[in-house]
């Protein structure tokens, strides 16, 4: 059998980078892609049948420039069951710190360790906690990456019915050697066509066998009306600047097109803003959300020198988060905030020496965090 041609067929698309349309507009007829992927395989029947009513009732939660935190998923230490109480309390702590939004099912959320049902429970608990604490308008971005187009779309649907507002999608990578560049473009366009919530492209080469989407590809995909942003954990601020300028990204001072061009690590927050980015989705926000937010506030207020000094402290702290990974982040949360627990196996539990090392790496940043009002 001849290899499948992955070149997308022509279809009408918006010709501008305007992304300020309502999240859920008037009903429309199903596209071919939506029809193909309309049957749910993983979700409970109640999820699929309730999707339209949930869609009609959900409020509009817009993305705005700022700090978004990919939240940690917490487990009971003995059973590794979800600790929904701590998940909820952590979400509220971050919201009270002034972040612009939260992300569930990211790398820090151990999405790869969760079942579909657990993913839904985490997002539902987060949404309920935010609403109960009065943060009704805070958006939740949900990690929905998977290896097949079909399951990725299914995760997007489950994200919506669980209370998620946007989907963060990695490119598939298991069959990397067989992909043509056109296959990834087709993947994102098909997901965007069928997803009931807008999506953000997630470029993180370290998590997807080195696949690194270039600025040309992301700029092309940004023209799709249901693709409303990107997260660049590749750390390439040149790429980020090219995308931001080409799509007229929203910034702390300019509305632009509404497209969110986000950095993926707190250690280049200031650099992201300087080249026209919209903000950061950063795991370090789990440890020091106020400090991360403060960098953006200072820059937006024109206090660049103060922002630079704070950025240095944040960058040092972020290296502790990067080098320690989720194991180190959870350890630091336990040390400094009294909760955190452990990652799911087969990730290791930290030794006493590890705990001391992680605590030392975050010490300066946590002291700063606790000094901020």
- Please give the helix or strand (H or E) that residue 200 lies within, else none: strand 199-203
Q: Tell me if residue 231 is catalytic.
A: yes
Backbone angles phi, psi at 327, to 5 degrees: -65, -45
Q: Within the chain, where are the H helices?
A: 32-36, 45-57, 84-96, 116-132, 149-161, 181-194, 215-221, 237-247, 269-274, 289-300, 304-337, 352-371
- Among the listed residues 11, 86, 50, 33, the one whose alpha carbon sits nearest the alpha carbon of residue 333: 86
- Which residues have C-beta within 8 Å of that of residue 238, sequence separation ≥ 6? 275
Reading the block at residue 237, the tokens are: 């601020």
Q: Is the CB of residue 223 less than 8 Å from the CB of residue 13? A: yes
The CA distance from 34 to 29, in Å, is 9
Q: Is the preceding peptide bond at 346 cis, omega within 30 degrees of 0?
A: yes
Q: Is the CB of residue 92 less than 8 Å from the CB of residue 133? A: yes
Residues in the chain: 373
128 by Cβ neighbours in 10 Å (0-12 / 13-18 / 19+) ranks as middle
Largest Cα span, the chain: 65
State the catalytic residue, choosing from 124, 223, 231, 363.
Answer: 231
Active site residues: 231
């Amino acid at each position: 059998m001849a290899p499948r041609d992955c070149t997308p067929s022509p279809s009408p698309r918006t010709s501008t980078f305007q992304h300020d349309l309502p999240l859920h507009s008037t009903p429309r007829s199903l596209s071919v892609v939506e029809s193909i992927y309309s049957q749910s395989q993983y979700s409970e029947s109640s999820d699929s049948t309730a999707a339209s009513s949930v869609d009609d009732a959900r409020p509009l939660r817009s993305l705005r420039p700022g700090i978004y935190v990919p939240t940690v998923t917490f487990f009971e230490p003995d059973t590794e069951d979800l600790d929904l109480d701590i998940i909820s309390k952590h979400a509220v702590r971050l919201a009270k710190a002034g972040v612009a939004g939260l992300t569930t099912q990211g790398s820090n959320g151990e999405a790869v360790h969760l079942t579909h049902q657990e993913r839904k429970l985490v997002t539902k608990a987060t949404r309920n906690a935010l609403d109960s604490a009065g943060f009704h308008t805070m958006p939740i971005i949900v990690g929905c990456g998977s290896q097949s187009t079909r399951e990725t779309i299914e995760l997007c649907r489950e994200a919506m019915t669980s209370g998620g507002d946007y989907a963060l999608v990695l490119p598939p990578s298991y069959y990397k050697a067989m992909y043509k560049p056109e296959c990834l473009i087709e993947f994102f366009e098909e997901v965007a066509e069928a997803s009931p919530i807008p999506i953000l492209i997630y470029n993180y080469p370290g998590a997807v066998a080195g696949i690194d989407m270039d600025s040309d590809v992301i700029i092309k995909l940004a023209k799709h009306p249901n693709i409303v942003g990107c997260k660049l954990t590749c750390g390439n601020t040149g790429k980020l600047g090219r995308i931001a300028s080409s799509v007229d990204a929203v910034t702390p001072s300019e509305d632009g097109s509404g497209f969110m061009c986000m950095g993926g690590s707190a250690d280049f927050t200031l650099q992201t803003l300087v080249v026209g980015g919209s903000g950061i989705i950063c795991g370090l926000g789990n440890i020091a959300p106020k400090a991360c937010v403060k960098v953006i506030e200072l820059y937006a207020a024109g206090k660049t020198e103060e922002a630079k000094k704070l950025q240095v402290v944040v960058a040092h702290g972020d290296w502790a988060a990067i080098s320690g990974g989720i194991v180190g982040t959870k350890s630091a949360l336990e040390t400094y905030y009294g909760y955190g627990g452990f990652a799911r196996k087969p990730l290791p539990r930290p030794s006493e020496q590890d705990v001391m090392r992680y605590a030392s790496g975050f010490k300066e940043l946590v002291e700063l965090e606790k000094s901020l009002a």
